[in-house]
Each structure stands twice: as C-alpha cells, then as structure tokens.
Structure 1
Amino acid sequence: MAAMNDLSTRSATAADLDEVLAFWKVAAEGTSISDDADGVARLVERDPDALILAERKGVLVGTVIAGFDGWRCHLYRLAVHPEQRRRGVGGALLAAAEDRFTALGGRRADAMVLDRNDLAQHAWRAAGYGPEPQWSRWVKHLTD
C-alpha cells in the first residue's frame, strides 16, 4: 500500500466491485461494455493487482486498471471523483500502476483516452504521456 498524506492506494478485492461500478458512474467519462459485475470480477480474479483503488480516509476517490499481458502495459479506467481532482489522486494512481509495471518487467505503458475528453488529455500529458501520431493511444516509456 502506498500512502500520500491521507491518500492511499491498494489493489481491489471482490468485496469492492459494487462500489467501483457505482463510482465509475460518477467519476468516469463514458462506459465500457465490460463495466459490469461479471467483467470486473473476471479482471480481479484473473489479475488480482490490476485494479488499483485510491482512497482518502477510507473513501474511494479514484481508480485505474493497470493491465499487463506479459508484453505490454495497458492503462484503463483512470477515474478520479470530481470533488477530488487536482489533489494528487491521479498522480498517485499512475505512480502505483507504473511501479506495478516496472516490477513485472514492463517497459512501455499505453492508455486509452477519449479524443473528446480534454480534461483527461491534459492530465495524461501532465503525467508524461503523449499521443503517438500513428496510433490512437497514448504511451509512456517506463524505461529507456
């Protein structure tokens, strides 16, 4: 568990899934076909450390999915509660995800970012990610 003042990050458990799904309805831009109890349960069962939660005083304030397929690192569902934005939550989640990737041997992370989500694009840029002209994804090299 990583801590920053009163902010902590941890891996989600099966007991968190209903809360995560409700949280995404408030904090995430758009929905995905896999935003359901079965889809998220499958993720946590297959890779228990992939869904990372940020909590402030025990309250869920952010999420990120840090998936690693053995070759590439993929980031999904970076979501921060609107009242918690610009308070270090996104940065703490990305740091936890990048630490996970580095420990697994990952060398490059990419993120799916909606073209219309200017706020998210700004946040990803601030975190060191940037668009690749030939792809519709954002990437960051974790090692040189």
Structure 2
Amino acid sequence: MTDLRIRAATPEDLDAVLAFWKVAAEGTSISDDRAGVERLVARDPEALILAERHGELAGTVIAGFDGWRCHLYRLAVHPDNRRQGIATALLAAAEERFVRLGGRRADAMVLTRNESAHRAWDAAGYGPEEQWRRWVKPLAG
C-alpha cells in the first residue's frame, strides 16, 4: 500500500483525530476530549500514530509505553478504508515503537461486544487473557 503514510500525530492533528474517532472508533473514552489528547501528545509525542491515505486520516492507534508495559488503545480505521491493511500497518508501527523502547509484550483494550475487532486482533496475533479483568475507577467527574 504505497499511498499510505504512517506518522506520529502533532498538536495540529488533534481536532481531526477527535472527529475521526466519532466516526471510526467503537465506544468512547473519558479522555476523548481535546485536553486529554493534548496531554497524551505533550507527554509522549510518538504515542498517537496516524495513518493517512491521499492526505486524509484513515486510521489511528495509541501506542502507550510507561517504561514497563506496552498498551494499545484506539486502533480505529475509517469504515470506508477497512480490510485494506491499514490496521496491520498501524500495529506494525506500534510494535516497532515498543521494541525500540525495550517493550516485551503488548496488550490491547478491546471491547467485549466488538466482534469484528476480536477477529482483527486475533489475525494480528493477539489473544484474550481471560484470567485478567480490567478494574476501573474514574478520577474525574
């Protein structure tokens, strides 16, 4: 896919990313606002990875690394661009980043009800670990 460009997001991309997630991402997050994404990009400028096709945003993934664990969030591809290798390219970029930073294993946040995502993650070599549960406590109202 020679027309695909993978790059880190910049502060100038954030409004477009937030609008994109409303169309392409499944579910919402408490951090899906300008301030939350600004903090992410300011703290770790390479964490939010974008895929562009013909100058248009086609996909995203957040590849967060805290120095110990590698976490993947917001893998999203525009519905018009799915099943064209964009998610694969984004995950490859995220995994390369993790390896470069010394990461040993990546985990992904995947909604239980998102069956199409389950197939995509499985095809990429990821699998659920049923012995773990996510425990959550909102810190902001």
Aligned residues: 134
Q: TM-score, normalised by structure 1?
A: 0.91
Deviations 1:12-56 (A, max 9, x none): 000000000000000000110000000000000000000000000
The structural deviation recorded for 1:107 is: 0.4
Gaps of at least 5 residues in structure 1 are 138-144
What's 2:71 paired with?
Answer: 74
What's 2:31 paired with?
Answer: 34
What is the identity percentage for the equivalent residue pairs of Structure 1 and Structure 2?
A: 76
- Looking at secondary structure, tell me which structure has more strand per residue: 1
1:17-56 aligned at under 5 Å gives the runs: 17-56=14-53
Partner SS, residue 44 of structure 1: helix
Cα RMSD after superposing both structures: 0.9
What's 2:138 paired with?
Answer: none
Distance 2:34 2:133 in 1: 28
Deviations 1:47-87 (A, max 9, x none): 00000000001110000000000000000000000000000
- State the AA in 1 paired with 2:48: L
Distance 2:71 2:80 in 1: 26
What's 2:125 paired with?
Answer: 128
Gaps of at least 5 residues in structure 2 are 135-141
1:3-18 aligned at under 5 Å gives the runs: 4-18=1-15
User: Is it true that 1:93 corresponds to 2:90 in the alignment?
Assistant: yes
Distance 1:136 1:101 in 2: 23
- State the AA in 1 paired with 2:119: H
